[in-house]
């Protein structure tokens, strides 16, 4: 316990200045523009994660082995130490880095340039970083551990299907289907212009998507999207001329247009 903090005016206490000179923060502030003075007092920074990192970055501009045990008590400080100072694999700090999905992913991609198994459980909790890990670190191989997270977010489920699986991703379709644009792209790009029934309700809310879905996927009438199509006169005209190829369908669509 720092008893000096409990006093209203600690500067009046016996040995206050002596105590201050043993405090990393005070010493740093006093000598921050005098690196040689800080080097004389490096023992004060060895056991403090923040100041051990600062000492490595700003005074040594090189690794600070004596302070590493303190630095690795913090994932954030370990990450900064690796990226700003060490700039290579740092096995001693990997357990700390592995606690944070963002730092674990960046360590794998930019430092190891290889998979980082110890960090994969943390990475797997983030849909975005699971996708990026599969794409950038695993070189477009599936990252099974992260798929649960990926299936919960439409954007990453779609991109995982498109870039990693390169085909249908049934586990992610529920999420994809909540977004009309992604549902359309999933049907046209990922499923190679095959129907995506689960996403058709979302597609049908958009006039342009409904028209192009009719053209490229249905290759004919898309009844579910006709209300949206009819709300846009230009797209409705295209649909009438280019998609509807018989009088019965045109007559039914004209009725929808009349109500639009």
pLDDT, tens digit (0-9, with 9 covering 90-100), for 194-251: 999 999 999 999 999 999 999 999 999 999 999 999 999 999 999 999 999 999 999 9
Are the C-beta atoms of 119 and 108 separated by less than 8 Å? yes
pLDDT tens-digit series, residues 146-203: 999 999 999 999 999 999 999 999 999 999 999 999 999 999 999 999 999 999 999 9
Whether the pLDDT of residue 18 is over 90: the answer is no
Rounded Cα–Cα distance for residues 195 and 192 (Å): 9
Rounded Cα–Cα distance for residues 255 and 249 (Å): 10
Q: Where does the pLDDT of residue 22 fall: very low under 50, low under 70, confident under 90, or very high at 90 and above?
A: low
| Mean of pLDDT values over 15-29 | 63
Whether the pLDDT of residue 4 is over 60: the answer is no
Structure tokens at 232: 């846009």
Provide, rounded to the nearest whole percent, the portion of the chain with pLDDT above 70.
92
Rounded Cα–Cα distance for residues 229 and 154 (Å): 24
Are the C-beta atoms of 226 and 251 separated by less than 8 Å? no
Query: What is the structure's pLDDT at 254?
Result: 95
Query: What is the structure's pLDDT at 8?
Result: 52
Are the C-beta atoms of 128 and 102 separated by less than 8 Å? no
Rounded Cα–Cα distance for residues 195 and 125 (Å): 31
Are the C-beta atoms of 106 and 79 separated by less than 8 Å? yes
Q: Helical H runs in the chain?
A: 16-20, 24-31, 35-40, 49-54, 68-71, 75-81, 94-97, 101-106, 120-123, 127-132, 147-150, 154-159, 173-176, 180-185, 200-203, 207-213, 226-230, 233-238, 247-259
Of the chain, the end-to-end C-alpha distance in Å amounts to 74
């Amino acid at each position: 316990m720092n008893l000096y903090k409990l006093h209203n005016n600690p500067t009046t206490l016996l040995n206050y200045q002596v105590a201050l000179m043993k405090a990393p923060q005070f010493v740093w502030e006093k000598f921050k523009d005098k690196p040689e003075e800080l080097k004389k007092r490096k023992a004060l920074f060895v056991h403090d994660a923040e100041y051990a990192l600062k000492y490595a970055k700003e005074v040594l501009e090189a690794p600070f082995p004596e302070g590493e045990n303190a630095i690795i008590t913090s994932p954030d400080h370990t990450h900064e130490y690796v990226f700003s100072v060490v700039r290579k694999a740092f096995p001693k700090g990997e357990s700390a880095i592995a606690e944070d999905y963002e730092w674990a992913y960046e360590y794998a991609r930019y430092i190891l340039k290889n998979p980082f198994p110890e960090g994969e459980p943390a990475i797997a909790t983030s849909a975005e970083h699971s996708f990026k890990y599969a794409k950038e670190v695993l070189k477009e191989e599936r990252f099974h551990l992260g798929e649960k997270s990926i299936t919960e977010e439409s954007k990453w489920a779609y991109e995982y299907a498109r870039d990693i699986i390169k085909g249908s991703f049934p586990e992610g379709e529920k999420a994809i289907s909540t977004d009309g644009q992604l549902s359309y792209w999933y049907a046209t790009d990922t499923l190679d212009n095959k129907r995506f029934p689960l996403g058709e309700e979302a597609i049908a809310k958009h006039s342009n998507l409904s028209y192009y879905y009719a053209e490229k996927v249905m290759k004919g009438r898309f009844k579910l999207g006709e209300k949206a199509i009819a709300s846009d006169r230009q797209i409705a005209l295209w649909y009438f001329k280019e998609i509807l190829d018989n009088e019965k369908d045109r007559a039914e669509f004209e009725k929808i247009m009349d109500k639009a």
